Each structure stands twice: as structure tokens, then as C-alpha cells.
Amino acid sequence: MRVTLTQFSNERILRGWILLRIEAAHVCTQIWTSSTFNPYQELYIWLGQIRDCQLPAKMIIDEEGYGVELIAESLSNAVVELKIDPWMCSHDTTTRLKITIEPDKLIKAFYDGVIKFLQDEYQPSQWSYIDDLSNINWGALLKPSNIEGQNWQTRLAMYWGGRGRVSETGRETVWNQLTPLQQWLVILHDVMLWITDLTANSQITEAYALVSLYKNLPIDIALGEFDASWYSRRRIELNKKYGLRENSIERRTPYNHSASAKARLKTLKLGQLVDGTIHKINSHGVFVNIGGYYALIHITAISQQTVDHPEQVFQVGEWVRAIIISIDVEKGRVSLSTSDLELEPGDMLKDPLVVYEKAEEMAARYYQNVVLKLERE
């Protein structure tokens, strides 16, 4: 088995995309990882779950576009089955991967692919302002597993569940099991991500203030001179002085979800065709994650035929394509429609994937017949 990673950064392909190529015997598959999130932390958790027999382990790749799930399931204590969940991909010309392999050989193949990528192709200056890839301890995956994989359960929760797979209460449970010093090291991890986000948004003064406060925290811990109350008081003072939100550290600091959602909203337009995953379903409709922003498909906008309940069509975690039919910037609300993608009424109830295949064509019709008409008015 061989795993190859290739970075693309020319003008025709959005910078930050990587092609993940998996080869085994007579089977090959290629997966595009999306620039909308960093896949390596997720991959690290995923491989650790496989090593520690926490199966099935699923890794979602390219959440906002041509999504797939890379799944490892246990066939026995010594063998796992590696497969690609058959999501519809409009550009997909690859063979579906479904092979059996020993867990250590699977991990070794990914490890070798990552190391070769680092040596031959990885250029931090062309990737990101955070060197996430080479800062991950890939070599640790080759060491014997920890006690029943407990470290991976903890890591999964502390990383906010590998993009939403662990609830807020799940992280709180793990948090309460940590020592006070361990908790502060996790806070430091979150603060570093917060500082990165502030810097990316040109809030240099605020970022520097946080750096000045937390840069000595590891040294204080190492010397046994750590004073938690002092750090807590100074943090409150900084929050007041610079208008920083207290929960920016305590809750979901990675990439500042509020700022990301606001930035995402500015990129959306009426009539735009978007891809996403179903985040939540209730009797009134479904909420869709469209790359960091949650939009609503009301039950009346699912199909031109009557839908008794959204679960007739959708399940949580599924990929969906839809048209933006309403944007309220002030209230931060986005409404989507899949009914406007139907060639015939009821197509979404029969086979959503067939609807998605014609999505570009139907979106173009919607733009001509609805959006342009509104703009003229």
C-alpha cells in the first residue's frame, strides 16, 4: 500500500488544496483535501484511533465540496477494512477503494507518505502562516498504543472532537479529568490559535498583548512557579482593556468561529450554488454547514412536492447542494433551497444525487429567471 500527497498552488487550482492518492495492489483512489480546513490534525486523530482500535474511524475530507469519508472498520483484532464512502463526486473518475490491511501497515503507509511530502514538496511559505504539517508528531503513531487508547479519546475531545464529532459536554467531561496544570496547557493551545486568528484579522495590538501574557506560562510551569490566580486576573484585565471576549479562550477558540462565520457570510450571494453537510434536522427544516456558516433549508424549500418531514430526504452528516434564495446580513441568516434545483417536482424525494448532478444547470436557470429579474427591479 502507498499513500502520496501532492500540493497544488497554481492559479487554476485554489492554493492550499492537496491531492491525497492511495494505491494498493489493483486499486487506487484520489481525494482532494479542501482548503477550508486543515486536514492534518484530523488525519492525526484518525490514524491514532486506528492504531488504538477505536473503530470504525471516519475521516471526512473536503467538507465544502466533493465530500468523501475515508473509513476504517475492524474485521478482526489484526485486520481493518479501508474504504471510501460512495458520495457523489461530479469530477470523480477514480476507483472506489475497498481493501483489507493490517493497521500498522496502513499507518506506516500514511506516515511514509507524509514524510516524503515534507522532504520533497512541502513549502511552508506557499501553504499557510501556521506550519501545521511539520509540527504534528507523526512519528508517535509508530510507537505502541497507550492504555486502551485513552490518550486518543482525550486528544479527540481536546481538539474539539475532530471538527464536531464530540459534543461540548464531551470536552467538559475530559476537561474535568485533567490536572490544573494540564488544563492551563490546553488553554495555552487555544490561546495560540486565538492569537493566530487575531493576527490574520490585523488585530496586532491585541495579539501582542496575549503573547506578552502567555509567553512565560510554560517556563513558570517548568520552574514550579506557576500562579494560576495571577494569570486569571491578568486575562480579565486584558479582556477589559482590549474588548476581548472571555469565551474566546473557554469555548471554541480555534479559528474564532464567530469571525469566520461573518467572513463567510460576506462571500455569499443570492442565487449562488453552495455545497455543505447536514448539521441538524428538525421538523421545520435542516441546517447546513456551508464551510463555516450554518444556513437553513426550510421544509417547504426541500422539494416542489410536499415533504412530511426533512428526514424523508436528509440525514445528519450527508452532503447537500442547494441554492441561496435569501440573505439577511444584519440578522446573519441565510436560506437555501433544493426545490429550485429540481427538474421535475419531487426529484429530491426520488434521488437527491440525480438532482445534484444537474445542479449547475438549474442554478444557472434560477439566476437568469429570478436573480437577474430582481436586480432589474
State the pLDDT at residue 14. 43
Amino acid letter for position 317: G
State the pLDDT at residue 253. 37
Q: What is the mean pLDDT of residues 351-367?
A: 89
State the pLDDT at residue 26. 64
Strand partners of residue 38: none
State the pLDDT at residue 244. 79
Please name which of 198, 190, 200 lies closest in space to residue 244, comparing C-alpha atoms: 198
Average of per-residue pLDDT values in the chain? 77
At residue 299, does pLDDT exceed 90?
yes
More confident residue, 95 or 44: 44
CA distances for 211 relative to 15, 180, 312, angstroms: 29, 21, 50
Please name which of 286, 283, 302 lies closest in space to residue 294, comparing C-alpha atoms: 286
Question: What is the band of 55 on the pLDDT scale with cuts at 50, 70, 90?
Answer: confident
pLDDT > 90 in the chain, percent: 16
More confident residue, 8 or 51: 51
State the pLDDT at residue 96. 65
State the pTM of this model.
0.52
Half-sphere exposure of 276 (CA within 13 A, CB side): 27
Q: What is the mean pLDDT of residues 176-195?
A: 84
**CA 325 from chain center: how many Å?**
25
More confident residue, 192 or 129: 192
Question: What is the band of 124 on the pLDDT scale with cuts at 50, 70, 90?
Answer: low
| DSSP H helical ranges for 215-272 | 217-223, 228-242, 247-250, 257-266
More confident residue, 343 or 116: 343
Amino acid letter for position 161: G
Alpha carbon distance 354, 356 (integer Å):
5
Please name which of 252, 224, 278, 259 lies closest in space to residue 163, comparing C-alpha atoms: 252
At residue 351, does pLDDT exceed 70?
yes
Where along the chain do its domains lie? 2-136+147-156, 170-250, 260-376
Contact (CB, 8 A) for 58 and 69 = yes
Q: What is the mean pLDDT of residues 10-25?
A: 61
Q: Which of 92-106, 139-153, 298-312, 323-337 has the highest mean pLDDT?
A: 298-312
Q: Look at 2-11, 131-140, 236-245, 293-302 and tell me which has the smallest mean pLDDT.
A: 2-11
Q: What is the mean pLDDT of residues 145-165?
A: 61
Residue with cell 503507509: 109
Please name which of 261, 222, 231 lies closest in space to residue 249, comparing C-alpha atoms: 231
At residue 38, does pLDDT exceed 90?
no
At residue 146, does pLDDT exceed 90?
no
Question: What is the band of 117 on the pLDDT scale with cuts at 50, 70, 90?
Answer: confident
At residue 137, does pLDDT exceed 50?
yes
pLDDT in tens, 202-249: 888 988 999 999 999 999 999 999 898 899 889 888 888 888 765 444
Say yes or no: domain 260-376 is CATH 3.90.226.10: no
